[in-house]
């Protein structure tokens, strides 16, 4: 069965909690903000559950500034420092990849240290599980976090901090596993960019190390399309890959052709403008093709905005993909449904190695 999951509730600007508040809240007690945030989260989770979402994304919007929250999580800033920074008029901020959101740029020094910090991630996981929900925590990946920051010393390459940062991810995964989490989503939006060779090589090194840590990992490339890094992303040693719905047939076929036979592919439907009226049929065709080929290894996720139009389009894609996944195998000689020779060889190797999807 094609699985449905969410990418979270969105990290739009919201009322904040304590030092993560990115704007003043005169007359409101911290306890009131915490209670309001909890209510918002639970309403969003219940709405997703009612819509048929089987795996709920948690810890994604982080009170208005996701990058600042991640700096808390990995101990790049302490609570007092963040509170002081939030109250300053002039903060060093930058725009997110798409849209109007901004984030506080992390500033790294040569002697930068990292340590497991803020507990909000784990508190939200516990909160959702107490409601009986199956959850998938959403965190920022180590390479994207370093890329989005800057070095206080122009002569210092912040990529050198990767080896210090990775052990903290190991601690995060271990703690989530102890809470009963099975999957974690790791967002690496910079894979949609043209990256220097050193950063591409760092991806391979980092994820080979993280492969040893507990939890199944869904590598997510949102806010952009894989192009130059398609081979890199599909080849990293993780159990799944999530991408925004591919806009071109070339990218669609590239994903299906390069995805290893043991790996899950997740497709995220986002709001798209349909200038010529043909986008709907192209999406349906790819949903059928992916469902038929991947079956239970196909996951679908709707846009975080979850508008009425998106809900309708998403439901249509889900029905098409599930119908294709449950259909009988293609008869011999049907070229439209046959796997390529390369895919067949990968599937055979995966089965021999015991890596075939369960």
The CATH number given to whatever domain includes residue 176 is: 3.20.20.210
Share of residues in the chain with pLDDT > 90 (%): 52
pLDDT of residue 170: 97
> How many beta carbons lie within 10 A of that of residue 249, not counting itself?
11
pLDDT of residue 63: 61
Residue with tokens 């903000």: 33
Token pair recorded at residue 206: 């980092």
User: Residue 73 is part of which domain span?
Assistant: 3-244
With respect to residue 260, please indicate whether it lies within any of the assigned structural domains.
no
With respect to residue 179, please indicate whether it lies within any of the assigned structural domains.
yes
Please list, residue by residue across 67-81, b when 16 or more beta carbons sit within 10 angstroms of its beta carbon and e when fewer do.
Answer: bbbbbbbbbbbeeee
The pLDDT tens digits of the residues spanning 132-190 come to: 999 999 999 999 999 999 999 999 999 999 999 999 999 999 999 999 999 999 999 99
> Across residues 27-52, what is the average pLDDT?
79
**Bridge partners of residue 187, in order along the sequence:** 140, 220
- Distances from the Cα of 250 to the Cα of 60, 149, 267, angstroms: 31, 33, 15
Q: Which of 25-34, 212-221, 298-307, 329-338 comes out lowest in average pLDDT?
A: 329-338
Query: Distance between terminal CA atoms of the chain?
Result: 11
- The pTM for the full model equals 0.83
The pLDDT tens digits of the residues spanning 52-106 come to: 899 999 876 556 678 888 998 999 876 444 444 444 434 677 777 666 677 888 9
SS3 category, 151 = strand
Read out DSSP for 40-54? HHHHHHHHHHHTT-S
Q: Total structural domains in the chain?
A: 1
**Bridge partners of residue 93, in order along the sequence:** 104
The pLDDT tens digits of the residues spanning 199-225 come to: 999 999 999 999 999 999 999 998 788
Q: How far apart, in whole angstroms, are the C-alpha atoms of residue 49 and residue 177?
A: 22
With respect to residue 234, please indicate whether it lies within any of the assigned structural domains.
yes
- Average pLDDT over the chain, rounded to whole? 81
Picking from 18, 134, 128, the residue whose alpha carbon sits closest to that of residue 78 is: 18
With respect to residue 51, please indicate whether it lies within any of the assigned structural domains.
yes
With respect to residue 223, please indicate whether it lies within any of the assigned structural domains.
yes
**Bridge partners of residue 88, in order along the sequence:** none
> Across residues 273-300, what is the average pLDDT?
87
């Amino acid at each position: 069965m094609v699985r449905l999951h969410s990418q979270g509730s969105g990290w739009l600007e919201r009322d904040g909690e304590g030092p993560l508040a990115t704007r003043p809240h005169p007359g409101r007690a911290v306890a009131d903000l915490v209670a309001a945030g909890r209510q918002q989260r639970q309403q969003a989770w219940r709405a997703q559950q009612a819509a048929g979402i089987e795996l709920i994304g948690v810890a994604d919007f982080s009170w208005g500034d996701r990058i600042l929250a991640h700096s808390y999580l990995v101990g790049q800033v302490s609570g007092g420092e963040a509170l002081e920074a939030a109250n300053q008029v002039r903060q060093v901020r930058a725009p997110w990849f798409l849209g109007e959101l901004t984030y506080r740029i992390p500033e790294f020094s040569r002697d930068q240290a990292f340590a497991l910090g803020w507990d909000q991630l784990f508190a939200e996981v516990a909160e959702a599980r107490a409601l009986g929900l199956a959850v998938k925590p959403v965190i920022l990946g180590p390479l994207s976090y370093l890329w989005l920051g800057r070095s206080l010393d122009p002569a210092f390459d912040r990529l050198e901090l990767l080896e210090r940062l990775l052990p903290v991810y190991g601690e995060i995964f271990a703690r989530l596993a102890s809470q009963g989490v099975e999957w974690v989503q790791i967002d690496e939006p910079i894979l949609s960019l043209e990256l220097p060779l050193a950063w591409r090589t760092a991806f391979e090194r980092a994820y080979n190390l993280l492969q040893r840590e507990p939890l199944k990992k869904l590598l997510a490339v949102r806010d952009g399309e894989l192009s130059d890094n398609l081979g890199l992303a599909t080849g990293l040693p993780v159990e799944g890959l999530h991408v925004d719905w591919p806009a071109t047939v070339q990218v669609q076929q590239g994903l299906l052709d390069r995805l290893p036979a043991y790996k899950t592919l997740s497709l995220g439907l986002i709001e798209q403008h349909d200038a010529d009226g043909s986008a709907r049929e192209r999406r349906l065709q790819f949903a059928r093709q992916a469902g038929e080929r991947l079956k239970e290894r196909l996951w679908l996720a709707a846009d975080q905005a979850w508008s009425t139009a998106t809900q309708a389009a998403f439901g249509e894609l889900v029905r098409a993909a599930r119908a294709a996944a449950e259909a009988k195998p293609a008869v011999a000689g049907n070229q439209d449904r046959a796997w390529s020779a390369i895919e067949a060889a990968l599937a055979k190797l995966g089965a021999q190695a015991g890596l075939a999807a369960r």
